[in-house]
């Protein structure tokens, strides 16, 4: 069991804690995540929203309408710009945390690839991991 686990931004202005095990760890290849990650894919740890708690700092938000038609609100550090987490209109009970913001992401093992249809030709997709052409939810 890894819960609770913590994370935050690069400049340490924002900190958070998660009190439960992740629901999933997914690598998303959608075009929006490619922008956010600075390449691709975006590595997201999906947790129940009630298990997430912001413990320090303030975030800025940016919302886009995803290919599913639902809004995705990405939140990032107002000071250093580190991508931190996202609220998903289509799944309001879940929180998607950027894996790179965890204090120790070494224990994560991907459970799925999302938006395989948008993956760049140079992206590595491990055939042992289930891949969805689009968003399954």
CATH of the domain at 18: 2.170.150.70
Residue 137 falls inside a structural domain: no
Instruction: Indicate the pTM of the whole model.
Output: 0.88
Q: How confident is the model at residue 108 (pLDDT cuts 50, 70, 90)?
A: very high
Could you tell me the residue range of the domain that residue 22 belongs to?
5-131
- Contact (CB, 8 A) for 36 and 47: no
In a domain, 118, yes or no: yes
* Nearest of 64, 108, 117, 58 to residue 87 by alpha carbon: 64
**Domain count across the chain:** 1
Whether 67 shows a pLDDT value over 80: the answer reads no
Q: How many Å apart are CA 131 and CA 2, to the nearest integer?
A: 25
Structural domain contains residue 32:
yes
Q: Is 51 helix (H, G, I), strand (E, B) or coil?
A: helix
Q: Is residue 136 part of a domain?
A: no
pLDDT(44) > 80: yes
* Any domain includes 40: yes
Per-residue pLDDT at 34: 84
Q: Considering the domain boundaries, does residue 38 fall inside one?
A: yes
Residue 137 has what pLDDT?
58
Instruction: Please give the residue that has the higher pLDDT: either 41 or 3.
Output: 41
Does pLDDT of 135 surpass 80? no
| Domain annotation covers residue 17 | yes
Q: What strand order describes the sheet that includes 71-77?
A: 59-65, 71-77, 83-88, 94-98, 42-48, 24-28, 112-114, 130-131
């Amino acid at each position: 069991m890894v819960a609770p686990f913590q994370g935050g931004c690069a400049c340490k202005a924002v900190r958070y804690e998660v009190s439960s095990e992740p629901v999933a760890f997914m690598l998303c290849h959608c075009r929006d995540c490619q922008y956010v990650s600075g390449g691709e894919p975006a590595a997201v740890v999906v947790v129940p929203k009630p298990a997430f708690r912001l413990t320090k700092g303030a975030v800025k938000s940016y919302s886009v309408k995803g290919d599913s038609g639902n809004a995705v609100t990405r939140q990032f550090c107002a000071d250093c710009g580190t991508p931190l987490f996202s609220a998903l209109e289509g799944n309001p009970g879940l929180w998607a945390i950027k894996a790179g913001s965890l204090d120790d992401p070494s224990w994560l093992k991907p459970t799925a690839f999302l938006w395989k249809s948008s993956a760049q030709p140079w992206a590595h997709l491990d055939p042992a991991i289930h891949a969805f052409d689009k968003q399954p939810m």
